[in-house]
Amino acid sequence: MIYRREIHTLMLIYDNPDIHISEVGRHFNITKGAVSKTIRKLEEKGLLEKYPDESNHSRILSRLTPLGLEACRNHLTMHEELDKEIYDFMDSLSEHESDIVVSFLKIANNFADRHQ
C-alpha cells in the first residue's frame, strides 16, 4: 500500500528528478525529519533510492526505482480517468460559465487556505 503523502512525494521526485531532500520538505512545508521518514518508507518499499549529490556531498538526492516509476505512471493514469469527468464538464460550459466556476474555485481555495 502506498499512502497519499508517499505517492505525492514520489510524484514530486518524478517531476523534479534532481530534487534534494530539503527541497521536498520545503515543497510540502514539512520538516526534514518528516521527509526523511517518508523517504525511508519509500526506500523500504523499493520505490526509490537515495544517493549523494555529486556536486555537493552534504546533500542527498533521491531517484525512482523501476517500481517507483511504475507507481507514478499508475497514479497519472488514475488521475486521467478520475479527472476526465470534471474536464468534460468544464469543456461543456460557455466561456462566461467557465469564468464563474474558476472565480468561485479561487475564492473557495483562498478560504480553505486561511482555515487550515
Residue 20 lies in a domain: yes
Indicate the number of domains in the chain. Answer: 1
CATH number, domain at 16?
Answer: 1.10.10.10
How much is the pTM? 0.78
* pLDDT score, position 47: 98
Range of the domain at 51: 4-67
Residue 53 lies in a domain: yes
Would residue 112 count as lying in a domain?
Answer: no
The predicted-structure confidence for 29-49, as pLDDT tens digits, reads as follows 999 899 999 999 999 999 999
Domain membership flag for residue 17: yes
**Residue 53 has what pLDDT?**
87
Residue 59 pLDDT: 85
Mean pLDDT, the chain, integer: 93
* 80 within domain boundaries: no
Residue 77: what pLDDT?
Answer: 96
Q: CB within 8 A of 12, min separation 6: which ones?
A: 19, 24, 27, 28
Does residue 8 form part of some domain?
yes
User: Does residue 114 lie in a domain region?
Assistant: no
Residue 60 has a pLDDT of 84
